[in-house]
Structure 1
Amino acid sequence: MVSSTSPRQIIDRKIRPLVETALADTRVVLIAGPRQAGKTTLAKQLSEIGRPYITLDDAGALSAARADPVGFVRGIERAVIDEIQRAPELMLAIKESVDRDDTPGRFLLTGSANIATAPTIADSLAGRMATISLLPFAQSEIQSTPGRLLDRLFAGEEPAVGGTVVFGHDLIDLVLQGGYPEALRRSTPARRTAWLEDYVGQILDRDVRDIANIDQINRLPRLLNVLAEHAGQLVNHSSFGAALGLSSVTAQKYVAILERLFLVRTVAPWSSNRLSRLIKTPKLHFLDSGLLAALRQDEAEVLNMDRTRFGALLESFVVSELFKLASWTKRRVSFSHYRTKDQDEVDVVIEDRRGRIIGIEVKASATVRPHDFRGLRQLQEAAGDRFVRGLVLHDHDRVTPFGEKLQAAPLSVLWSM
């Protein structure tokens, strides 16, 4: 069985070397990710004499920062400032400070909303700030494995099984747990679900107000539930809005807010001049499978009998794991999905800066058939020499070849390589 994380266990975060490197040559470093993903723990580990820790979750510090941001920053030589999205007005004061003193590593910031996407902040700190993502625990972090799958696949290696392979009932249990540290410390599914439900409530009640002024904030919990039932599907703002009596434009705005809070993520469609029948609509995913399961009220007993329902949950789990692997690789990659008007698809297309492509399809079943590679073969033909590897990840314990550069492989390769 899959075990929970010990309350006292400290798990090394794989982005830490990236943060330390950035602090050595960049004036401002922002660790961005959802609340309760471990940003504060990591930031405190990097605080030291001469770099004090300040949290804007403290009412006094927050009041001072909002009342006089320039005065708040003045006199700070170096500092860790936690939850910077609570006082975004500090960012301009930080810009002025680091323009006067451009010593690297002056400010280590954390943010539970993607403030780097705000135009005024992005423009003001251009060339001055490095942004590094920290998502909830990846399985390679939990299990202390290398987490080098993307690097190894792009290097031309074939998928390989190593260590203990997780499949069957254990795979469902692992997916249901997700990666939030606090949720993993709960010893039973009921306790994890209770924590995740409280977590969502707090995010929607407080953090939304820090980044947006919206008229119908009470609609967000219902919208999130609607999105949960559409996880792994094409984005349809008209449909999302209609379920809540919202316009398509309003629904799109609200989904963007949930994306800034790192609850959901949209994946753009892959495009090619060689193919004319591609769907050009993004897909929707949740960034934590445990949170998605709690919103959908999915339980292990039901999912063991209903593999179709497990499929949507499993796809978001895989996408999230791939995002985490990408967050610490030195290789710059982008993510998209492939779907044609004939419904042939590849769940994830990963492309590096040289234009080389890896395609990944996700199946909840133990059996994989040649037909399951239809989308991957189309992608392979369209990409030509740029195609590196095509994988169908599924609920199994062995790697099975299905043609040149095409294999079915266990889900466990996400963390065993």
Structure 2
Amino acid sequence: MDKIRHIAGKVDQLLHMFPAVAVIGPRQCGKSTLVKQLRPDWKYYDLESPDDYQLITDDPIAFFTLNTDKVIIDEAQQYPDLFRVLRSVIDENRKLKGRFLLTGSSSPEIVKGITESLAGRIATVEMWPFKQTERFDQPLPDLYERILSGADGIEAFSDLSTSMTLAHSMQALLQGGFPEPVLESESNDLYQAQWMDNYIANYINRDIRGLFPKLNIHVYRRFLSLLAHHSGHQLNMSSMARALETTVPTIKEYLDIIHQTFLWRNVQPFSNNPLKKVQKSNKGFFRDTGVLHHLLKINQLDALLVHPVAGFSFESFVTEELIRGFQSTMATQLEYSYYRTVDKSEVDFVIEGTFGVIPIEVKLNTVVKRQALRGLEGFISDVKCPYGIVINRGKRVEFLSERVVQIPVQYI
């Protein structure tokens, strides 16, 4: 049975507001399954199917004359002209909502097509591999609405509850969230590694080679392996360029490509603190920790926890879980960043929205020492935040100080 995804309700609401909705994200994260679940009675066309591609591209005007609404078009990036054609189709009856549902993956083309041709006519929703609560059939945690409601103090988190366990969270951390290997691995331990090998090979040999034919595929493959050791870190592009015997502009190009193809997330530094001099280097991480651990050849939790990457991997996992949680809501104007000053005061993750600025520190340990809160409390004081959050492997929600609350990873 297909699992219910947290963004399903959001996509449904947006279909009642806009003529078209696009669900974008990495390959194999469940987009096709979701759109078919949401609108099972709509006509479905897959542009990676030669027959469907020919049907639409041979005469798109004729196709949309016959199919004016209730149409799902999967892998829309395969036909970039589609967005221009859709614009004229939608404008013929601009007030009619919920006509088209598109999906797109692994391509800057879909984002470009949406922004240039369909601005104001389409809502875009980003999808991801399973969030930990989706994997274990749990609802979206209360945490997100508590933050988005703009509650003034940390008392809002005192009665948070969860049906998740720490073991659930650690399993999700190790394996990541791509639906197929997660579900198949329940009956076949060997499946995850085989699937990941094929996924990464297809990503490089099909998506990257097809989208960027002039790219040096061999260097890009080495770049992926190198990047696995930098996930969760500030990025020193000069040292990365030296390691790959290439140039800094090439590294910048690769980082842009891997971010746009949904495998990696670039995180900007938070700079809105006039009291401190802030480091401006970008930071980033693999969006799926299963991909990260496969590239690092880590396939057991015990091996992960003693590996030098453990703390960075846990931070990447928590950060992405939080972003997925917020993206499951109808919240807008959200910004994500990290914070580090030249004197090494830092906060792992900062979220900004209409509710204000909330700093979040991520710790792999189960117990947080008071000394470890200095950077977080300094940020709260400088930026005048209502509170800060520590996410770790603790057993329960606890108030660590007047303005800092501990929320265990199984609650997010």
With the length of structure 1 as denominator, give the TM-score of the two structures.
Answer: 0.89
Q: Choose which of 118, 128, 131 in structure 2 pairs with 1:125.
A: 118
Give 1:67 shift. Answer: 5.0
The 3-state SS of whatever aligns with 2:16 is helix
2:369, 2:157 → 1: CA distance? 19
1:165, 1:179 → 2: CA distance? 16
Give 1:159 shift. Answer: 5.2
Q: Choose which of 3, 9, 13 in structure 2 pairs with 1:11.
A: 3
User: Residues 323 and 220 (structure 1 numbering): CA distance in 2 closer, same or farther, change over 3 Å?
Assistant: same
User: Residues 164 and 119 (structure 1 numbering): CA distance in 2 closer, same or farther, change over 3 Å?
Assistant: closer
Give 1:89 shift. Answer: 1.8
Q: How does 1:204-243 map to 2 (within 5 A)?
A: 204-243=204-243
Q: Choose which of 27, 40, 45 in structure 2 pairs with 1:54.
A: 45
User: Residues 360 and 151 (structure 1 numbering): CA distance in 2 closer, same or farther, change over 3 Å?
Assistant: same
Query: What do the CA deviations read for 1:19-62 (whole angstroms, capped 9, x no partner)?
Result: 1121122112100111111100011123344x300001212323
CA-based RMSD of the aligned residues comes to 2.2
Select between 362-371 and 171-180 the one with higher mean Cα deviation: 171-180
Structure 2 equivalent of residue 338 of structure 1:
339
1:176, 1:236 → 2: CA distance? 26
User: Residues 43 and 115 (structure 1 numbering): CA distance in 2 closer, same or farther, change over 3 Å?
Assistant: farther
1:220, 1:283 → 2: CA distance? 19
Give 1:154 shift. Answer: 4.1
Structure 2 equivalent of residue 6 of structure 1:
none
The 3-state SS of whatever aligns with 1:280 is coil
2:53, 2:118 → 1: CA distance? 21
Query: What do the CA deviations read for 1:361-405 (whole angstroms, capped 9, x no partner)?
Result: 111122311121111112101221xx1321221122123322112
Give 1:162 shift. Answer: 2.7
The 3-state SS of whatever aligns with 2:239 is helix
Structure 2 equivalent of residue 88 of structure 1:
80
The 3-state SS of whatever aligns with 1:130 is strand
Give 1:274 shift. Answer: 2.2
The 3-state SS of whatever aligns with 1:153 is helix
1:323, 1:408 → 2: CA distance? 18
Structure 2 equivalent of residue 166 of structure 1:
165
Query: Does 2:389 align with 1:391?
Result: yes
The 3-state SS of whatever aligns with 1:19 is helix
User: Residues 172 and 283 (structure 1 numbering): CA distance in 2 closer, same or farther, change over 3 Å?
Assistant: same
- Unaligned 5+ residue runs, structure 2? none
Q: Identity over aligned residues, as a percent?
A: 31
Structure possessing the higher relative contact order (Cα contacts under 8 Å, 6 or more residues apart): 1
Query: Does 2:349 align with 1:351?
Result: no
User: Residues 310 and 76 (structure 1 numbering): CA distance in 2 closer, same or farther, change over 3 Å?
Assistant: same
Give 1:97 shift. Answer: 1.4
2:217, 2:112 → 1: CA distance? 23
8 Å CA contact retained: 1:70, 1:90: no
Give 1:147 shift. Answer: 2.4
8 Å CA contact retained: 1:263, 1:287: yes
2:284, 2:58 → 1: CA distance? 39
Give 1:86 shift. Answer: 1.5
User: Residues 72 and 211 (structure 1 numbering): CA distance in 2 closer, same or farther, change over 3 Å?
Assistant: farther
Query: What do the CA deviations read for 1:230-258 (whole angstroms, capped 9, x no partner)?
Result: 00011233333322222111221122111
Q: Choose which of 151, 159, 181 in structure 1 pairs with 2:145.
A: 151
The 3-state SS of whatever aligns with 1:174 is helix
The 3-state SS of whatever aligns with 1:258 is helix
2:394, 2:317 → 1: CA distance? 16
Structure 1 equivalent of residue 303 of structure 2:
302
8 Å CA contact retained: 2:273, 2:383: no
The 3-state SS of whatever aligns with 1:222 is helix
Give 1:134 shift. Answer: 1.1
Q: How does 1:12-411 map to 2 (within 5 A)?
A: 12-49=4-41, 51-66=42-57, 68-78=59-69, 79-102=71-94, 103-113=96-106, 115=108, 118-119=111-112, 121-143=114-136, 144-155=138-149, 156=151, 157-158=156-157, 160=159, 162-164=161-163, 166-167=165-166, 171-185=169-183, 186-187=185-186, 190-298=190-298, 299-306=300-307, 308-332=308-332, 333-354=334-355, 356-384=356-384, 387-411=385-409
8 Å CA contact retained: 2:140, 2:325: no
Select between 395-404 and 87-96 the one with higher mean Cα deviation: 395-404
Query: What do the CA deviations read for 1:99-128 (whole angstroms, capped 9, x no partner)?
Result: 223221221100113547744541211111
1:375, 1:116 → 2: CA distance? 40
Give 1:409 shift. Answer: 2.8
With the length of structure 2 as denominator, give the TM-score of the two structures.
Answer: 0.90
8 Å CA contact retained: 2:336, 2:349: yes
1:114, 1:383 → 2: CA distance? 37
2:58, 2:281 → 1: CA distance? 43
User: Residues 279 and 84 (structure 1 numbering): CA distance in 2 closer, same or farther, change over 3 Å?
Assistant: same
User: Residues 145 and 43 (structure 1 numbering): CA distance in 2 closer, same or farther, change over 3 Å?
Assistant: closer
Q: Read off the aligned partner of 1:149 and give its amino acid letter.
A: L
Equivalent pairs counted in the alignment come to 400
2:262, 2:215 → 1: CA distance? 21
Select between 343-352 and 275-284 the one with higher mean Cα deviation: 275-284
8 Å CA contact retained: 1:85, 1:211: no
8 Å CA contact retained: 2:73, 2:101: yes
